[in-house]
Amino acid sequence: MSTVVWKGNFIYSKDAAHLNLVEQGYLVWENGISRGIFTELPGEYQGIDVRDFGDCIIVPGLCDLHAHAPQYAMRANGMDMELLDWLNTYTFPVESRYDDLEYAKAAYGQYVEALKESATTRACIFGTIHREGTLLLMELLEEAGIRGFVGKVNMDRNSPDYLREKSAQEALMDTRAWLDACGRFSRVTPILTPRFVPSCTDELMRGLSKIQEETGLPVQSHLSENFGEIAWVKELCPESENYGDAYDKLGLFGSKGKAVMAHCVHSSPAERSLMKERGVFVAHCPQSNMNLSSGVAPVRTYLEEGVSMGLGSDMAGGFSVSIFRAMSDAVQASKLRWRLLDEGLKPLSVEEAFYLGTLGGGAFFGKVGSFEAGFELDAVVIDDSRLLPPHTLSLRERLERIIYLSEDRDILEKYVAGEKIFERAVG
């Protein structure tokens, strides 16, 4: 067993509202698992070579709880519409291209390269309905060392002919064949991915729920993002009390295994209470919610109610892969919500935004998002010297500037579960 000791400035969440700020401390890890952070190196580790990172800041890897890999190819285009028109006009035509493996290889290659260069270590990612294209995406992520969940998307209704599975039966057979082919991956794991209620028949949803029951795999989808979408779901599922209840009645809302729902901008108290009860995670996607004019999710309410939550890029409702950017967007959006909509809901603090992008979302992947003993060693080493003014800043102030100002080039090294993803030459 090889023990690694790092010296540097460590920042990680204590809880949603508080940071651990450890100046010139020690991180000890073995076999990809943290043994903890120490201000003095314990006697048992004396004599081990110490890797000294000088004045760099080391934070846990960031977690993206919701992204669409195929949409990277259309990021920052088509931001002039709301969700349903945007899907039909821009998104579905682009996603249909991933039937072509040459295209998929080129486009997914660009996305995975961007993700690799970013501070993200874990992600929950949608592919498309195409089995082979999705497997290719998984191979690229696996090679890059990024960990997390990838889903072959299911859609068998209310979708254009060129991007619709022929029947629930065929969709389920194809999903099972995809799951069989996923055995070869060790870093990425499949996740069941009904696109959203409007694009999946009850038969398909029930079949996916059965697969979840058999396999214990998690589920990802979309929930209460946009008013038109919510009204449509109400029409499609008149017997359901709310959108979340529609998933729940079909067995896909945490009753059979883990579930993460993106957006949850307009969830009612009853829907939020069901999320809490079922342990459903919210993927808060502030940039996408602004771009598609969906609204601003009541993040403070979710925090107060104790609903599990992390941040999502929602590439390409969002145009940035950066979860640092998602943190600053979350803070900014919460300020507008507070000022314009509800002065009872205080804006997010830096501590809370950082928590959501690390430990909050990390919980969906296991013991991820912290340096506490027992957590997987996901770490990003940041040289923020480029961002420092002539006067001295506290570690908290430096973190805040990293969130708002840092770029990929400031990341010196990145580790996922103890594996080095890259090391950037200095200078």
Which residue spans within 69-158 are E strands per DSSP? 120-126, 147-151, 153-154
313 binds, among ligand GUN, Fe ion, none (CB under 5 to 8 A by kind): none
175 vs 288, which CB is nearer to ligand GUN? 288
96 vs 288, which CB is nearer to ligand GUN? 288
| Footprint on this chain of ligand GUN (rule: CB under 6 A) | 68, 83, 87, 91, 195-196, 222, 225, 288, 314, 317
Q: Which residues contact 47 (CB under 8 A, 6 or more apart)?
A: none
The answer to the question of residue 314 lying near Fe ion (CB under 5 A) is yes
In the complex, minimum distance from the CB of residue 422 to ligand GUN, in angstroms, rounded to a whole number: 29
415 binds, among Fe ion, ligand GUN, none (CB under 5 to 8 A by kind): none
Of 244-303, which residues contact Fe ion (CB under 5 A)?
262
19 binds, among Fe ion, ligand GUN, none (CB under 5 to 8 A by kind): none
In the complex, minimum distance from the CB of residue 379 to ligand GUN, in angstroms, rounded to a whole number: 30
The residue number with the shortest CB distance to ligand GUN is 317
DSSP state of 89: I
196 binds, among ligand GUN, Fe ion, none (CB under 5 to 8 A by kind): ligand GUN
In the complex, minimum distance from the CB of residue 72 to Fe ion, in angstroms, rounded to a whole number: 13
In the complex, minimum distance from the CB of residue 154 to ligand GUN, in angstroms, rounded to a whole number: 12
Secondary structure class of 21 (helix, strand, coil): strand
In the complex, minimum distance from the CB of residue 229 to ligand GUN, in angstroms, rounded to a whole number: 7
In the complex, minimum distance from the CB of residue 229 to Fe ion, in angstroms, rounded to a whole number: 11
**Which string of DSSP letters, residue by residue, matches 359-412?**
IIHHGGGSS-S--STTSB--EEEE--GGG--SS---HHHHHHHHHHH--GGGEE
Q: Which two tokens stand for residue 367?
A: 């013991």
In the complex, minimum distance from the CB of residue 71 to ligand GUN, in angstroms, rounded to a whole number: 7
192 has which bridge partners?
Answer: 219
Say if CB 55 and CB 380 are below 8 A apart: no
254 vs 317, which CB is nearer to ligand GUN? 317
117 vs 225, which CB is nearer to ligand GUN? 225
255 vs 289, which CB is nearer to ligand GUN? 289
- C-alpha 334/C-alpha 340 separation (Å) is 10
127 vs 369, which CB is nearer to ligand GUN? 127
- Of the candidate spans 190-198, 271-279, 314-322, 333-341, the one that interacts with Fe ion by CB under 5 A turns out to be 314-322
Closest CA to 320 of 357, 275, 368, 355: 357
Say if CB 119 and CB 409 are below 8 A apart: no
74 vs 402, which CB is nearer to ligand GUN? 74
Q: Can you list the pairs that 28-32 forms with residues at least 24 positions away whose Cβ atoms lie under 8 Å? A: 28/3, 28/4, 29/3, 29/4, 29/377, 29/418, 30/1, 30/2, 30/3, 30/4, 31/1, 31/2, 31/418, 32/376, 32/377, 32/417, 32/418, 32/419
In the complex, minimum distance from the CB of residue 66 to ligand GUN, in angstroms, rounded to a whole number: 8
Q: Return the sign of the alpha-carbon dihedral for residues 268, 271, 275, 281.
A: negative
The answer to the question of residue 64 lying near Fe ion (CB under 5 A) is no
Say if CB 291 and CB 263 are below 8 A apart: no
Say if CB 72 and CB 315 are below 8 A apart: yes
Binding site for Fe ion (CB under 5 A): 262, 314
